[in-house]
Amino acid sequence: MSKLGERECKKLGETRRFTCILGDIYYFIGTVWLDKRCPVCFVHLLMTFPGKYIEGDVVSKIFHLSITFILWWTACPPLLCAPDPIEFNFDHLTISEGLSQNSIYCIIEDHEGFLWFGSGDGLNKYDGYSFTHYRLDPYNSTSISDNSIRALHVDKKGRLWIGTHNGGLNLFDKYTEKFIAYRHDPYEEVGLSSNRVREIDEDSAGNLWIATNNGVSIFDCQEDRFVSYDFGHQGEKGKNLNSLFIDSLGVVWTGGGKGKIYRRDLIRGSFESYTISPSVRSGTPTPHLITAIHMDQDNTLWVGTDSGLYRARHTDSLTFEPYDPGSDNSCSLGSSHISIVAGDRSGRLWVGTHRNGLHLYDKENDRFIVFRHDAKKLYSLGDNSIQSIYESSSGILWVGTKGEGVSRHDPNKVHFKTFRNNSYEENSVTSGSIWTFCEDQEGAIWVGTEYGLNRFDRKTESFTRFTHDPEDLRSLCDNSVRAIQTDRLGVLWIGTDHGLSCYDPSSGNFASYQHGSSDSTKLSNNRIRSLMIDRAGIIWIGTYHGLNLFDPESRKCVKCYFHDPQDSTTISSDRIWALCQDSKNRIWVGTANGLNRFDPETETFQRYQYDPHNPSSIRSNSVYSIYDDMTGMLWVGTNSGGLNYFDPMTGDFSSFDERDGMPNPTVYGILEDNDAYLWLSSNHGISKFDPTSEIFTNFDVSDGLQSNEFNFGAYYKCRDGKMLFGGVDGFNMFHPDEIQWKKQGASILLTKFSYPGGTLYLPAITNNHIVLSHQENFFSFEFTSLDCSTSKRNRYAYFLENFDKEWIHCSYRNYGNYTNLSGGEYILKIKIANISDFSASNETQIKVIVKPAPWNTLTAYIFYLITLTALVSGFIRFRTREYDRRMTRKKKAEEMARAKSIQQAMLPKKIPQVSELDMAGYMKTAKEIGGDYYDIILSPDERKLYLAVADVSGKGTPASLVMVAVRTILRSLTSQALSPRDILIRANQLLYQDHSDAKHPGMVTMMLMCWDLQKKKMVYTGAGHEYILVYRGEQDGQKICEAIPSGGMWLGIDDNIDELMTEKQLLFEPNDTILLYTDGITESHNQNMEMYGVERLKNFLKRHGHLSAKKIVDRLLQNVEEFSRQALQHDDMTVVVIKRKGE
């Protein structure tokens, strides 16, 4: 019961409750039903109901309400019995789209597929993209004879005939684009009966019948002449004709003033006339004007007049009966002024009226379905005054209106299901602005809007609303719902503009969690923009100020991350727009200032931001959506930066924008269907993207979308594959498999060919090959598909045979050009494919011949041959010398390769097996051969193990030769079981003696360590080498890694370095790890010229020191390679790892 009824019942007492209940029934009818269907009745109820509701006795009130309802019932019976309306979406073509005028009197399609529109200001040709206008030019006798076009007809030969309001009949020559005018001549007995042409039709013999305001004329197409024909009979004259129709039986029907209809049977040669009497239809004050005649597939003759529609069966004696608007079957026509009656290819009957809209005949129910202009609906009929109706070969219905151009209904278009807010329906979604979706465990969809939370029942398509109640702490904390997630227990988590709400479906109550300024366990900010529940069950909350990690069990924030401008490892912005956990469990965060990847081990963020100097960077810092597809690739939607693709192997981004076929560079949402196609929402509709072909298919509001503008965060894929996208006026729900296009046999035509010598137009292009001189070796061309149902989605490709190697895909662009063509024969091929299927496309082609230039003649070629012979002779001599040099280089390269293999053979082939030690080593040269060296040598008595790492100054061959000498010396001295100090002192003396006189003496740094297998003691002596890194494991919760200086002096600089060389003992306990390396590791740099450095190496050893020696070596080399990426290796790199096993 309404509040009004309940309140008055309390006042009047129980004796009046019956009246209040009855009042509520009528109030419901008025508010819920009548306001939509009959505004007049609704206003009457509103004006009379309140006063009568509370005054008078029970009987008088019942009487008054009953009378009101009966009046409404009798006044509006069609509304009670009318079936559900059929919705048609109409596109509009007006002056804004290129029409010459908005009053369209006639429409026709020619054999090539062009649409022609006759207006009050000229003839219009439409190719699906643009209009060509043809107007009267008083100074050009070959122009059209009048601008007011009233009739169009294409004859069996494909010629276009134009009937004008006051300029007679015109024939259009499509080859020359000129007009031949046929006018009435009062001094000739045979000719056009009047210059005012009303209708044109064609009989089975190919003769044209032209209805004018002065009778009918017949044009004999074989003789190319007119024969005037008087449709009078027994003194009657068929003058002032407005309509003409030739049916399938060969009967010519004409109609004019005073309700006269004339029937001429061309086969039998009979003639009859009929009159629609004013008395037939009560209330008709004057005789009828016959405005339209049409016979449907059932041979029912339909006649339109200025005061209604009539019909008659096609029998020997015709009886015209009015289509009575007062009968139970009538619905909408009434006594409308009928302007046009036409049938489509499927046999449906269409009736156009003056000021009463477009009507479609429902044969099964014997009623008409009306389509009218609705100012609230962008894609309703453009105007209620209809002047022409035509269905083209592609199935599109074209409706010419009196003042709003052409309305076009395309049945082939995809129509998305839309849900909008309806202020008259309580079970509709609460707001037009949709922000988020989520599917619960029962399959219901939760919709977050600007004005509350909604539960959408997919079976009943009804909405249950949840809103904030300031007086109820168990209600939603705020009506602006921006993000929704459901956890494993089925609990719903809702992010709003005023905190986080938790909804328990079992209790139906909400709990709220909000920002606390001094409490770190509460939200960092109440304005929530994104939610994500990771695979561990933790809720990630993106707010206007920081990223929060919320534990659903303790109902507390366990961590908050904020942007620190002084720390590049923090998140790049505190405004969090999008969250994603990829297939490798990496967390990606989209912010107002870049994309971030979160490292859970270090709790740091790696930033990906726009760099105008780096084409491989992300194209915008404002990240609205992140999607990890089924192949593990990451897609990023940005604000004004298009769709971005991240390659994890290279760390580079590729982007797609309007230049690639997107309708808008802002991507709000990204979803993937089961066929790996991506679906994107933007500021201009929804796009389907094929990552393989990189082709976009775009949809806009004309396809049934809620609006062209969508909202970020408002995208979701249900478990059954259905997708939801929300925007500023509701949301769309669809399954990608349902979005299918009806295949059309679209043909393609070359409409324009321009070259320096002139321009050719269709059809002259298709009938001839084109010959160009050598100076005209460039041309441009235009083409069209002539299928208006798909013209906005057509993609094209063209190919010039004998010039192009592959097809040139030009997307939606319907033009192309070629320059600098050599003499020869070419074939220009153009093909079209709707959506992405080029294999099913039609193709057109034309031969283009370019004459050769004088320098391409036979005489020129003989001269070229003589000249070439001389050049070849000289070239052979040059190539011989070049060959000798190349062989020399090849021989040198082979020698270098052998030297490299020899050098590699000098490295340890097999590391000695020592039970308590785990050892591994690796060397990588910067050139073919290098100067780094490492060795692991077991003494002959197997009591000592020597480990050496050396780095010879320089690179290449000189360094490698010194390395060989060092190895020979080291192998010789270690066989004597000397101490590391003695070995290095002796090695220095030998190197100095051998190389001191050289121009560039070889200098060597070395670290020599010796492990006593019996005493379990490690000693070492350094010769100016790098640090010794020792990993000690974890102590007191901290991982310990020591960097011990090498000490000592380089070998080969001075003959006496005894005092500088010391031998030290290194504490080497079980589970300790020693890492030896050359400066090629620490001095490796990236593209920013940052060096790897000792600190980074220490941090690496802390993280990986617990692994085996082989894994440490492998991961170190991988880590250095990832750091340096594509930077050139400038120095040899060597690493040796010794790990003492645990006891």
Tell me the sheet residues that pair with 636: 626, 644
| CA-to-CA separations, 1122 to 170, 606, 1092, in angstroms, rounded | 77, 14, 11
Highest mean pLDDT among 582-596, 768-782, 890-904, 1111-1125: 582-596
Instruction: Assign 291 to helix, strand or coil.
Output: strand
Instruction: Assign 136 to helix, strand or coil.
Output: coil
Q: What is the pLDDT of residue 28?
A: 44
Q: How far apart are CA 851 and CA 777, in angstroms?
A: 9
pLDDT at 235 over 80: no
pLDDT at 839 over 70: no
**For 494-511, b where at least 16 C-beta lie within 10 A, e where not — what string?**
bbbbbbbbbbebeeeebe
Q: How far apart are CA 144 and CA 177, in angstroms?
A: 10
Domains in the chain and their CATH numbers?
Answer: 3-81 (no CATH), 87-105+323-412 (no CATH), 749-856 (2.60.40.10), 911-1140 (3.60.40.10)
Q: Report CA dihedral (977, 982, 983, 986) to the nearest 10 degrees.
A: -130
- Taking alpha carbons only, the member of 33, 27, 36 closest to residue 3 is 27
DSSP state of 1060: G
| CA-to-CA separations, 634 to 42, 486, 580, 691, 721, in angstroms, rounded | 56, 24, 10, 12, 20
Q: What is the pLDDT of residue 376?
A: 76
**pLDDT tens digits for 85-101?**
566 889 899 999 999 99
Task: Give φ, ψ of 495 to 5 degrees.
Answer: -95, 130
Q: What is the pLDDT of residue 833?
A: 61
Q: How far apart are CA 699 and CA 45, in angstroms?
A: 43
- Taking alpha carbons only, the member of 151, 100, 173 closest to residue 130 is 100
Residues 541-555 have a mean pLDDT of 96
Q: Which residue has the higher pLDDT, 591 or 1141?
A: 591
User: Does the pTM of the predicted model rise above 0.85?
Assistant: no
Inter-axis angle of helices 3-12 and 17-28, to 10 degrees?
Answer: 160
**pLDDT tens digits for 160-199?**
999 999 999 999 999 889 999 999 999 888 889 999 999 9
Work out the percent of the chain whose per-residue pLDDT is above 70: 85
Strand-pair category, 843-850 with 770-772: parallel
Long-range contacts of 375-381 (CB under 8 A, 24+ apart): 378/701, 379/89, 379/90, 379/91, 379/701, 379/702, 380/90, 381/88, 381/90, 381/357, 381/407
Q: How far apart are CA 1070 and CA 1091, in angstroms?
A: 32
Work out the percent of the chain whose per-residue pLDDT is above 90: 56
Q: Which residue has the higher pLDDT, 1127 or 867?
A: 867
Q: How far apart are CA 202 and CA 221, in angstroms?
A: 10
Q: What is the pLDDT of residue 175?
A: 86
**pLDDT tens digits for 366-425?**
899 999 999 877 789 999 999 999 999 888 999 999 999 999 998 877 778 899 998 878
Whether the CB-CB separation of 275 and 261 falls below 8 Å is answered with: yes
**Segment among 287-296, 330-339, 904-913 with least mean pLDDT:** 330-339
